[in-house]
């Protein structure tokens, strides 16, 4: 029987650099994970492409997907819905591939309930002032949205205890190396290796 892949969740406050770090990891040729493209009702930012950055949906479409049970998790974040399509996650894990979800804290909590064996990583900022500086410098949000996201960031930082690892995003390259090292270590965790051996011994 095909061994299942690892479900990896990366969360952290808005502007900490999750998207930047994720894009850097996925640009590296030795990265073997797959990325779960989320659904959202947020308006696309300049340069964002439907089906690449997100699947952009209306609120009616999104609520239909919730009703049909098509989402592994979903949350309302600063006025918009965000959610993870469940089928792609399950298919990828069944193929034995690791899958990487970049989602906020309420969603991560729901995923933890369904996949307690997943790997949950929290990306933290060097400081709150640097976090604000990053969101402002990105230049994609209005002042109101920035203030709301900073308020939510304080609540999210208090949820760090729900995660297995905390990686500081002081420098992009270092944060990526730390995340990749954690994934390698997770694959070598004794409980996982024992489970693999148990299955092998059952077959022989
Ligand atoms: N280590 C870093 N040092 C300095 N700037 C960074 C670092 N990582 C990311 N940034 C910058 O911070 C800004 C926010 O990054 P990014 O959009 O990746 O954050 P995010 O966590 O994905 O945000 P959101 O949750 O709002 O989508 C970007 O302008 C990015 O270039
Ligand atoms: N619960 C979920 N959160 C998600 C998902 N996809 C992205 N996100 C998170 O939403 C915020 C805002 O994102 P932005 O692109 O508008 O800046 C951020 O924390 C993302 O990580 C998802 O499928 N589920």
**Cα–Cα distance measured from residue 121 to residue 26, given in angstroms and rounded to the nearest whole number:** 16
Mean pLDDT within 130-134: 96
Residue 66 lies in a domain: no
Residue 197 lies in a domain: yes
Ligand 1: centre distance to CA 3 (Å): 34
ipTM above 0.85, yes or no: yes
Query: Do residues 46 and 189 lie in contact, with contact meaning Cβ atoms separated by under 8 Å?
Result: no
Residue 90 lies in a domain: no
Please indicate if the annotation marks 5 as binding a ligand: no
Question: For position 107, which CATH number holds?
Answer: 3.40.50.300
Residue 141 lies in a domain: yes
Query: Do residues 119 and 163 lie in contact, with contact meaning Cβ atoms separated by under 8 Å?
Result: no
Query: Do residues 11 and 156 lie in contact, with contact meaning Cβ atoms separated by under 8 Å?
Result: yes
- Residue 147, judged by CB atoms within 10 A of its CB (0-12, 13-18, 19+), counts as middle
- Overall number of domains in the chain: 1
Mean pLDDT within 109-127: 97
Quick one: which ligand is closest to 89's CA?
Answer: 2
Q: How confident is the model at residue 196 (pLDDT cuts 50, 70, 90)?
A: confident
Quick one: which ligand is closest to 135's CA?
Answer: 1
Q: Can you give the pTM of this predicted structure?
A: 0.96
Kindly report which listed range (6-10, 58-62, 138-142, 165-169) carries the lowest average pLDDT score: 138-142
Residue 49 lies in a domain: no
Rounded mean pLDDT of the chain? 95
CA distances from 114 to 107, 117, 188 (A): 11, 9, 22
**Residue 136 predicted with pLDDT over 80:** yes
Residue 127 lies in a domain: yes
Four-point Cα dihedral 111, 103, 125, 116, nearest 10: 10
Q: Give the per-residue pLDDT at 1.
A: 65
Please indicate if the annotation marks 85 as binding a ligand: no
Q: Which domain holds residue 153?
A: 7-36+98-202
List, for residues 57-78, the tens digit of each pLDDT value.
Answer: 999 999 999 999 999 999 999 8
Residue 150 lies in a domain: yes
Ligand 2: centre distance to CA 9 (Å): 12
Q: How confident is the model at residue 199 (pLDDT cuts 50, 70, 90)?
A: confident
Residue 151 lies in a domain: yes
């Amino acid at each position: 029987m095909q061994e299942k892949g690892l479900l990896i969740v990366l969360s952290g406050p808005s502007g900490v650099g999750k998207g930047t770090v994720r894009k850097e990891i996925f640009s590296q040729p030795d990265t073997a994970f797959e990325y779960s493209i989320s659904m959202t009702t947020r308006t696309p930012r300049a340069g964002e492409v439907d089906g690449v950055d997100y699947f952009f949906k209306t609120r009616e479409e999104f609520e239909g997907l919730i009703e049909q049970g098509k989402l592994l998790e979903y949350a309302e974040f600063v006025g918009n819905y965000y959610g993870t399509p469940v089928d792609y996650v399950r298919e990828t894990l069944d193929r034995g591939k690791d899958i990487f979800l970049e989602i906020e804290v309420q969603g991560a909590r729901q995923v933890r309930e369904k996949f307690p064996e997943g790997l949950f990583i929290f990306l933290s900022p060097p400081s709150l002032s640097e976090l604000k500086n990053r969101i402002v410098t990105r230049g994609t949000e209005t002042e109101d949205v920035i203030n709301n996201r900073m308020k939510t960031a304080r609540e999210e930082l208090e949820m760090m205890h729900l995660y297995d690892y905390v990686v500081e995003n002081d420098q992009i390259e270092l944060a990526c190396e730390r995340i990749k090292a954690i994934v390698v270590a997770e694959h070598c965790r004794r409980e996982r290796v024992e489970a693999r051996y148990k299955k092998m011994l059952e077959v022989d």
